[in-house]
């Protein structure tokens, strides 16, 4: 696959020997890429650079990030993003989280992890990690692929990530390291950077503690954009899936952040499933909305309304059949690109919610199970299975958007926590 146009590195960046300022138990003196000095003046320079990057990107290149599709492990891969872009031209797309160590160790095989088609813009690369040297190197290696933003994962509760991996949501307990990581990422790229996090971890879940994390990261790094999953994470005893439903949603924390940090940008995430809910969240003051499983499991009905209902574009006349025809061309062009992968099953996986709640959906899935056993192309798979779907479904354009539950956001605005206890900037910057 072709790489997108790359970005040049900052010319002033040089490899220097740097000692991590705080002993995190897993770091030592490491060879990392960063600016030779760290000072308040440099910090303000970083802030100016970040603001300039964001203003250029949002104002001149792409629509504002009012709507984005969440990074989801094993879901938001190249295949799903290709399908999503066929349905919506304006939604911001995120990659799966890719560990910095994976990027560094797969240096000779990067296309498999980082390549994407140019039509996928605007697209954000999400990386995770707990080693500053690898984070710096991974950022540099990703530059040539031309992502529009780099996001750092501080929200994944998976035991593989937050437990043994010591990154993901566990990093919320160490805002100083997150600030260092964001500074390293920003110093090694010329695109905006952002953090995705939860509202707390285990019993560290007060609004004051969330504000402390946001303030320290934003004041000690160029980070000006935070994606807030409005649940806390429970690291012991429940699965990642349960972490998406058992901890209660606290949208009031999100809207309080918007109130208390007027110079930052916040995207709300968690429990939002319809376009109606997206627009209501924005009307209530959200800077942007990120949707996860609903965009994957019901892609046609949700992504199909993004451009018109959120961005004001004319309602698209494209049909499911037309989307599938274009997707089939893509799918058959990448079959076996990396040896046995991707196979037909990999390429059809993003389509399993394409006919959500439509006549013939159940029969189509049963036919799909049988076709996976012998079909060797996407074209032959479609020829064998799409007979289950009525023409009226395949050839109908996008219809009215489904109604969602919208009162939760107005309720949240009435439940805002009080502003955080004030802490002197000097104490936070040099704690």
Exposure string over 374-401, b if 16+ CB within 10 A, otherwise e = ebeebeebbeebbebbeeebbeeebeeb
Contact 150, 127 (CB under 8 A): yes
The Cα–Cα gap between 135 and 234 comes to 26
Q: Please give the Cα distance from 79 to 337 (Å, whole number).
A: 13
| Straight-line distance from the first to the last Cα atom of the chain, in angstroms, rounded to the nearest whole number | 47
Residue 30 CB partners (closer than 8 Å, separation 6+): 18, 20, 131, 132, 133
In order of 51, 253, 418, the CA distances from 370 in angstroms are: 53, 47, 57
Helix (H) / strand (E) containing 139: helix 132-143
Whether 156 is catalytic is: yes
- Could you say which of 156, 197, 211, 375 is catalytic? 156
Smallest CA-to-CA distance from 104 within 138, 153, 131 is with: 138
Catalytic residues: 156
């Amino acid at each position: 696959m072709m790489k997108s146009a790359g970005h040049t590195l900052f010319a002033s960046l040089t490899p220097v020997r740097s000692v991590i300022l705080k002993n995190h138990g897993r770091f030592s003196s490491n060879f990392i890429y960063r600016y030779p000095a760290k000072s308040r003046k440099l910090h303000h320079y970083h802030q100016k650079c970040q603001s300039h990057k964001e203003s250029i990107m949002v104002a001149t290149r792409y629509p504002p990030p009012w709507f984005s599709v969440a990074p989801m492990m094993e879901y938001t891969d190249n295949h799903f993003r290709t399908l999503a872009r066929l349905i919506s031209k304006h939604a911001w797309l995120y990659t799966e989280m890719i560990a910095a160590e994976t990027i560094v160790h797969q240096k000779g095989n990067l296309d498999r992890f980082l390549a994407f088609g140019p039509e996928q813009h605007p697209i954000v690369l999400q990386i995770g990690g707990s080693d500053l040297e690898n984070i710096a190197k991974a950022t540099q290696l990703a530059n040539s692929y031309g992502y529009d933003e780099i996001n750092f994962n501080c929200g994944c509760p998976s035991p593989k990530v937050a437990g043994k991996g010591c990154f993901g949501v566990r990093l919320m307990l160490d805002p100083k390291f997150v600030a260092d990581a964001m500074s390293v990422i920003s110093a090694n790229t010329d695109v905006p950077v952002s953090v995705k996090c939860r509202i707390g971890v285990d019993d560290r879940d007060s609004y004051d503690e969330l504000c402390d994390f946001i303030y320290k990261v934003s004041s000690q790094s160029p980070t000006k954009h935070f994606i807030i999953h409005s649940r806390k994470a429970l690291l012991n005893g429940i699965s990642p899936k349960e972490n998406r439903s058992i901890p209660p949603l606290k949208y009031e924390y999100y809207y309080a952040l918007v109130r208390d940090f007027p110079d930052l940008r916040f995207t709300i995430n968690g429990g939002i499933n319809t376009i109606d809910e997206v627009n209501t969240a924005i009307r209530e003051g959200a800077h942007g909305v990120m949707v996860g499983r609903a965009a994957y499991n019901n892609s046609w009905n949700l992504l199909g309304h993004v451009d018109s209902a959120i961005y004001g574009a004319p309602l698209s006349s494209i049909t499911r059949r037309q989307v599938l025809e274009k997707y089939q061309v893509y799918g058959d062009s990448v079959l076996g690109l990396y040896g046995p992968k991707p196979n037909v099953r990999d390429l059809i996986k993003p389509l399993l919610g394409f006919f959500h709640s439509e006549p013939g959906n159940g029969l189509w899935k049963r036919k799909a199970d049988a076709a996976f056993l012998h079909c060797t192309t996407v074209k032959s798979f479609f020829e064998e299975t799409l007979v289950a779907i009525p023409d009226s479904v395949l050839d109908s354009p996008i219809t009215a958007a489904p109604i969602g539950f919208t009162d939760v956001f107005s309720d949240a605005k009435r439940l805002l926590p009080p502003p955080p206890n004030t802490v002197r900037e000097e104490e936070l910057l040099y704690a």
